[in-house]
Chain A
Amino acid sequence: MIKIGIPVFPGSNCDRDVEKVLTTLFKVKTEFLWYNKEKISSDYDAIIIPGGFSFGDRLRSGIIAAHSPIMDEVKRLAKDGIPILGICNGFQILVESELLPGALIKNDSLKFMCKWSKLIVKNNKTPFTNNFKLNQTFSIPIANGEGRYVADKETISNLQKKNQIVFQYQENDNPGGSFESIAGICNEKGNVVGMMPHPERVFEKLLPKMGLPQDALKIFGSLTNYLGKSMILKTKIRRGY
């Protein structure tokens, strides 16, 4: 059975939402991993770092969490090619851990932005986007104060060259003022993805605006699809065909 680890830090607040989507909709097993765990087993098929305000956003969003013991383990799994997704504060933790390039700073409005946004899928080859069509658009809520993705010119052009921009905000809707309207990126290998918007918040039927499809859930569907396939592959190898 697919097993997904959810690291939890003091101040995480979307951990249970992620768990609920995964267990009720996709019927996979999840385990919460407390931030000071120094060793985790290698049998996690994926890691999802949830949103929230780890360590009260002290110093900078994500920086203290990035130095906590569990992140050494997440780095180890990332190196092994295990899919890792960081949502919102999870994305901030991934950039502060240097698992992803660039930085997330205060929105140029200086406001906490909480609203529905529209994303464009720019890379549908990652474990978290393979159920989308390329350039597909979908609605998703954002909720952040430091969601403005910035990086120097060289990093941005590398992201573009290596197809590491996973999600962009739609034209004229770049809530934080991100460079290149970036909402989500991945590492070079593609197994580590970070995104500011909250796909898990699309799950509760009461939350999406009337009539909006729950397409954002394809992010989790892509993962189970990817893991399902790789599991079949593992079994095939074991059986010798």
Chain B
Amino acid sequence: MNQDRLNQFKVTVTVENKKYVNDPEGETIFRDLISNSKYSGIKSIRTAKTFTLLVESSSERDAIKSVQNMCEELRLYNPIVSDCTVSIKKEDQ
């Protein structure tokens, strides 16, 4: 059969508050943990939520596209307050 071979891709989705929404968790981590430590080079921090998905797809592009569509359609992230980035790493066989 002349079927496209499906590959597995590890897709990472990161959901982070938009700039206009402050991030009290990040602010607390920065103020109370980092800013009074020796890591004085670190100037700010934003928290985010990460999802790791295993996706079967014929190509990287299709895998990203389908995850992006899923994020929009099922509102995995809330577009009003968050930005969502989708990135990929081909799963080692």
- Chain A interface residues toward B at CB < 8 A: 59-60, 63, 66-67, 96, 101-103, 105-106, 108-110, 150-153, 155
Does more than half of chain B's interface fall in helix, strand or loop, or is it mixed? loop
B72 to chain A, nearest CB (A): 13
Q: Which residues of A contact B76 (CB under 8 A)?
A: 59
Residue B56 at the A interface, CB < 8 A?
A: no
Q: Are B22 and A63 in contact (CB under 8 A)?
A: no
A-B contact pairs, 27 of them (CB 8 A): A59-B76, A60-B78, A66-B75, A67-B74, A96-B75, A96-B78, A101-B80, A102-B80, A103-B78, A105-B17, A105-B21, A105-B81, A106-B24, A106-B25, A108-B22, A108-B24, A109-B24, A110-B24, A110-B25, A110-B28, A150-B80, A150-B81, A151-B80, A152-B20, A152-B80, A153-B20, A155-B80
**CA distance in complex: A155, B80 (Å):** 10
Q: Tell me the count of chain B residues lying within 8 A, CB to CB, of chain A.
A: 13
Interface of B toward A, CB cutoff 8 Å: 17, 20-22, 24-25, 28, 74-76, 78, 80-81
Closest chain A residue, CB of each to CB of B28: A110
Inter-chain contacts of B21 with A (CB < 8 A):
105, 150
Contact of B80 among A66, A67, A103, A108 (CB under 8 A): A103
CA–CA, A152 to B15, complex, Å?
Answer: 18
Chain A residues with Cβ under 8 A from B81's Cβ? Answer: 103, 105, 150
A102 and B81 alpha carbons, distance in the complex (Å): 8
Instruction: Report A-chain residues with C-beta under 8 Å of the C-beta of B74.
Output: 67
A23 CA to B9 CA, complexed, in Å:
55
- Cα-based distance from A153 to B22 in the complex (angstroms): 14
Closest 10 CB pairs of A and B: A103-B80, A103-B81, A108-B24, A103-B78, A110-B24, A150-B21, A105-B81, A150-B81, A63-B75, A110-B25
Closest to B20 in A: A152
A67 to B81, CA, bound (A): 19
| Nearest chain B CB to A155 CB, angstrom units | 8
Which residues of A lie under 8 Å from residue B78 when comparing CB positions?
Answer: 60, 63, 96, 103
Residue in chain B with minimal CB distance to A63: B75
CB distance from A65 to the nearest CB of B (A): 12
